[in-house]
Structure 1
C-alpha cells in the first residue's frame, strides 16, 4: 500500500472501534458495550490535515489466554502491528492502567515504531479534575493523550500527533477496484480471501458468524489495485437478531452498494443454489455490481454424482439473469482455480466500464427491430427511434420511442438480449430505459 498505515490496538472494550468511527466520521466498525465484538483487522481510509492514511481497527488483545478465538485475534493484532507505520494504543481512563495494557505496551515497545498512548473515556476533559490520564505515564510509551471517543474531545490533538508521525509518501494512490465477497454465513469467504492473498489476513474459524464487520483488504494484481471486502454472511431476515448480527447484515448490504464487483460464494456441499443465495445475487445485480458466482468446497463433492456442467445448469435455471453470470468452481483448501477469479474480476470490471459508440448501438437496434417489430399500440405502430449509451458501471442505454409505455417487458428483454449477443457484457447487469420522443437526453 502506498498510503501509510495506522493501527489501533488495545485490550477488549476500551473503545477502539468508537475511536475508529470517530476518526472516520461514520459508523464503519460495530460498537457494542461488551468485549470481543471486533475480531478482524478492519481497514478504512482516513484523512486529516491534508494527509491520507489507512486506519486499522483490531480486536481486543488478551495476552496469555489459550482460548481459540483469543489466540486468533491475538495473531491478527500482531499482523496489524507488523504492517503499521504508526501504532495507537487505546486504554480506559475510567478503569485505570490494567495489567493487559502493560503487556500490550511491552509488545509495542519491541516493535520499535512510533507509538501514541491514548487514554479514552476521559469525559470531563478540560476540567481541573481531568487528571486520571497521568496514571498512564509509567507505561513507558511517552505522554498519555486524554480523549473521549464518544464525544470527540481531544481527538483533533491526537490526529495532529498521528499525522506528525506519518512517513512521507510520494505520488498519488492509484484507483482501486472494490470487490465484495458475499454469501451466506460459513461458506468459506474468509478462507477464500486468505487463499487469494496468500496469507492469513482474516480470522477463520469453524464457528459460524466469525466475520462481523465488512473487512477491507487491499492487494495488487497485474498493476491494478484490488480491495477485497470480506463480509459477514447474509441470513434470512427472520434469523437476524439484535445487536451485532443486525448491524453485520446492514454492513454487508452497504458493502454490496459500494462494490464494483461482487463474488457470491456458494457452498458446493449444500447443493447448487439456495433461495437465500439467489436473493443475495439479486441484491448485487440490482445494485449495478458486476457478479461472479464462486462455487467453493468443490473438492468435497463426489464427482460421480454431480459434474460441473450439471451443477452449472441447475444454477442458471434458477433465474434468467444468471445466464450472463460467470461461474467458477474452486477449493480454498487445495487452491483449485482460486486465482482464476482475479482474471475474471478484471474482465468483468472491463465489461462494466465498456462504452459502445452511438452509431453502433443504433445499427444493432435497427437490425433487431427489422427482425421482430414491437407490437402495435391501439392500432398505432410503435417505433424505436433512436438509442444511445448514457452511462457505464453498469452499462445503461436509453431508447427513444413514440410510445415507450406500450413496449412490453418481453420485447424489452428481446432488445436487451440482442445487445448482449452483440457486445457480451458478461457478469454485468445491463439497463435499458425507455423515453418519449422529444424528452431531454440528460
Structure 2
C-alpha cells in the first residue's frame, strides 16, 4: 500500500520548518527567524501510531508578491498542494489572522483537498484559546492549537490528518493496473518515451528543459493489457537555475514513485550517468519499488564493440546501491527497444510479487551458512535459526537470529546474494528484517 502524502502550507515564518523537523525527528530544514529561509521543499517519512506517511515541507506562500524568490516559492507550494493527499494549513497565533491567510485559504479551497487548519505558537492553551478561535473566520473547519517548538498538541493534529487518509488513498488502491513512474533529470526524454508509446503527442515536449508542467497519468495499452504511466517532469520553463529545476523535480518524483509499482529511471546516453541520477534512483530504492534503468537517445551514440559494456560499467559504478536494477538501451525518437521495455516491466512486476516457500528459503539459508560461517564477536557467534517471507512489493523476509548486533551488513548482503542466485529477483529490491529469538525457545 502506498504512503499518503501530507504537505505543510502557510505564509512565511509561521513555523512550517519547525513543525516539519519536530515531526521528522531531525533538523532537515534550515530554520531562521526571518521569512523565506526555507528555500527548497524537503520530504521525510513520518510514522503516527500504525500509519506511515510522507511529509512535505514548503517555502512560504506570499499570495500577491512581485518578489521573484517569493513567487518561486509560491510555485513550489502549488506543486506540493497538487501532489498532496492532505494539507496542513499552518497559521500563527501571535500574528493573528491576516489578509494573506485568507488568500492562502482561498487557494487551498480551490484544490479540493482535505485541509487541517493548525494554529502554531500556542504556548498556553488556556489563555490563548480566544486568539485561536479567531481563525474560524477562515471558514475551513476547526482550528487545532499546537506549539511546534514545544511539541504540544501534536496528537490531536495527527489524529485529524490520519482521519483523511482512508478516502484519499483507497481510490488508488482499487485500480490494479500496473503503475509505472518515468523518472529522471529534466530533458532526458521522459515525455518523448510516453509519446512514442502512445503514438501521439499527448505530453508537451520541447528541447527546453522543464517544459512539462504536471505529472501526467497516461494509460497505455499493450498486448491487451493496460498500464498507467506517470511522467514526473513537473517543471516550469521559467526556472532558469539548474538547482531550482532539480529541487522542483524531487517532490513530484517522490509523489509519483510512491504511487507506482515500477520506476523507470531515464538516463541521457549523450550525457552519461550523473550524481543527480543517483539521487533520483535513491528515492525509488528507499521505497522498495521495482527499478529499470532506461538509457535513452541511444541512436545518437557512435558505437563500437565495447560501448554497451562501457556504459553498463559506468551505471554500475554510480548506481552501485541498486545492483539488482534492469538496464535497457532505448531511443524514444526511433522507438528502438521500446517493446523490450514492456517485457522488462512485466518481469520486474512478477519479481516484485514473487513468494518463496519457507522450506526452500531455509534450505538456502542452511547451505549459505555451511559455505560461509556467520561472523562472531568477542567469542559469541551469530546463529541464524530461521527465515520466512512475510510480504511482497518488495519481497520482505524475516530472519530469526540469536543476536541482532552480530548480523553485520556484509553477511546480510551475502544471504541476499544467495537468495538472488536461486530466484533472480531482477529489478526489485529485497527487504530483510532481523529479529532476535532466545536460544532453546
- From the superposition, tell whether residues 174 and 287 of structure 1 become closer, same or farther in structure 2 (CA, over 3 Å): closer
- From the superposition, tell whether residues 198 and 151 of structure 1 become closer, same or farther in structure 2 (CA, over 3 Å): farther
Residue in structure 1 matched with residue 190 of structure 2 by the alignment: 189
SS at match of 2:381: coil
Q: Is residue 402–residue 438 contact of structure 2 (8 Å, CA) maintained in 1? A: no
Residue in structure 2 matched with residue 265 of structure 1 by the alignment: 266
Q: Does 1:205 align with 2:174?
A: no
- From the superposition, tell whether residues 422 and 390 of structure 1 become closer, same or farther in structure 2 (CA, over 3 Å): same
SS at match of 1:432: strand
State the shift of 1:323 in Å.
Answer: 2.7
Residue in structure 1 matched with residue 279 of structure 2 by the alignment: 279
Distance 1:350 1:299 in 2: 30
Distance 1:248 1:213 in 2: 10
State the shift of 1:174 in Å.
Answer: 5.8
Q: Is residue 265–residue 294 contact of structure 1 (8 Å, CA) maintained in 2? A: yes
Residue in structure 1 matched with residue 416 of structure 2 by the alignment: 416
SS at match of 2:367: helix
Residue in structure 1 matched with residue 178 of structure 2 by the alignment: 177
- From the superposition, tell whether residues 177 and 304 of structure 1 become closer, same or farther in structure 2 (CA, over 3 Å): same
- From the superposition, tell whether residues 334 and 393 of structure 1 become closer, same or farther in structure 2 (CA, over 3 Å): same
Q: Is residue 234–residue 249 contact of structure 1 (8 Å, CA) maintained in 2? A: no
State the shift of 1:285 in Å.
Answer: 1.0
Q: Is residue 191–residue 205 contact of structure 2 (8 Å, CA) maintained in 1? A: yes
Deviation by residue 1:147-200 (Cα, 9 ceiling, x = unmatched): xxx989xxxxxxxxxxxxxxxxxxxx8621110000000011100111111211
Q: Is residue 384–residue 399 contact of structure 2 (8 Å, CA) maintained in 1? A: yes
SS at match of 2:337: coil
Residue in structure 1 matched with residue 95 of structure 2 by the alignment: none
Distance 1:435 1:284 in 2: 26
Deviation by residue 1:101-133 (Cα, 9 ceiling, x = unmatched): xxxxxxxxxxxxxxxxxxx99x9xxxxxxxxxx
TM-score by length of 1: 0.58
Distance 2:235 2:413 in 1: 30
Residue in structure 2 matched with residue 342 of structure 1 by the alignment: 342
State the shift of 1:248 in Å.
Answer: 4.6
- From the superposition, tell whether residues 177 and 349 of structure 1 become closer, same or farther in structure 2 (CA, over 3 Å): same
Residue in structure 2 matched with residue 371 of structure 1 by the alignment: 371
State the shift of 1:351 in Å.
Answer: 0.2
Residue in structure 1 matched with residue 166 of structure 2 by the alignment: none
Deviation by residue 1:179-228 (Cα, 9 ceiling, x = unmatched): 00000000111001111112111000111101132111112223432110
Deviation by residue 1:413-437 (Cα, 9 ceiling, x = unmatched): 1011111101111010011111101
- From the superposition, tell whether residues 313 and 246 of structure 1 become closer, same or farther in structure 2 (CA, over 3 Å): closer
Unaligned runs of at least 5 residues, structure 2: 1-55, 65-70, 76-81, 86-105, 110-137, 141-173
What RMSD in Å do the two structures reach over aligned CA positions? 3.6
- From the superposition, tell whether residues 393 and 363 of structure 1 become closer, same or farther in structure 2 (CA, over 3 Å): same
Distance 1:437 1:365 in 2: 17
Q: Does 1:251 align with 2:252?
A: yes
- From the superposition, tell whether residues 282 and 151 of structure 1 become closer, same or farther in structure 2 (CA, over 3 Å): same
- From the superposition, tell whether residues 233 and 266 of structure 1 become closer, same or farther in structure 2 (CA, over 3 Å): farther
State the shift of 1:245 in Å.
Answer: 7.5
Residue in structure 2 matched with residue 310 of structure 1 by the alignment: 310
State the shift of 1:263 in Å.
Answer: 0.5
Q: Is residue 288–residue 428 contact of structure 1 (8 Å, CA) maintained in 2? A: yes
How many residues end up aligned between the 2 structures? 284
Unaligned runs of at least 5 residues, structure 1: 1-26, 38-42, 47-119, 124-149, 153-172
Q: Is residue 174–residue 225 contact of structure 1 (8 Å, CA) maintained in 2? A: no
Distance 2:435 2:383 in 1: 12
- From the superposition, tell whether residues 405 and 233 of structure 1 become closer, same or farther in structure 2 (CA, over 3 Å): farther
SS at match of 2:318: coil
Residue in structure 1 matched with residue 228 of structure 2 by the alignment: 227
Q: Is residue 235–residue 248 contact of structure 2 (8 Å, CA) maintained in 1? A: no
Distance 1:423 1:305 in 2: 31
Residue in structure 1 matched with residue 164 of structure 2 by the alignment: none
State the shift of 1:399 in Å.
Answer: 0.3
TM-score by length of 2: 0.58
Q: Is residue 184–residue 234 contact of structure 1 (8 Å, CA) maintained in 2? A: no
Residue in structure 1 matched with residue 425 of structure 2 by the alignment: 425
- Structure-to-structure mapping, 1:367-406, within 5 angstroms: 367-406=367-406
Distance 1:315 1:381 in 2: 37
